[in-house]
Amino acid sequence: MNLLVAAADEAPKNMNGAWGLLVFVLLAIVVFFLFRSMNKHLRKAQRMNDEEAEPDAARRDAVPPQQPKP
């Protein structure tokens, strides 16, 4: 009986599962912040692109087309 108790106390502790879970969670957090940052930069680039297009359209509308002289 004493032998079974001693064998049960010496169970191997496998930490590979815990380390794998920790690495997976950390990578998921990093990917989340990477996508958030990428979306922020894409929105900023879109706004800058829209602002560049607006002056051209305003300039086109402000200058009346020239009439051909007879």
Dihedral (Cα; 19, 23, 29, 32), 10-degree rounding? -150
> Identity (one letter) of the amino acid at 11?
A
pLDDT for the residue 43: 94
Q: Has residue 24 been placed in a domain?
A: yes
pLDDT-flagged residues of the chain (< 70): 1-11, 55-65, 70
List the structure tokens of 55.
């002056």
In a domain, 33, yes or no: yes
Q: What is the pLDDT of residue 20?
A: 93
Q: Give how many domains the chain has, as a whole number.
A: 1
Containing structural domain, residue 38: 16-59
CA atoms of 28 and 70, how far apart (whole Å): 72
Residue 7 lies in a domain: no
32-42 burial code (b ≥16 CB/10 A, e <16): eeeeeeeeeee
Residue 9 lies in a domain: no
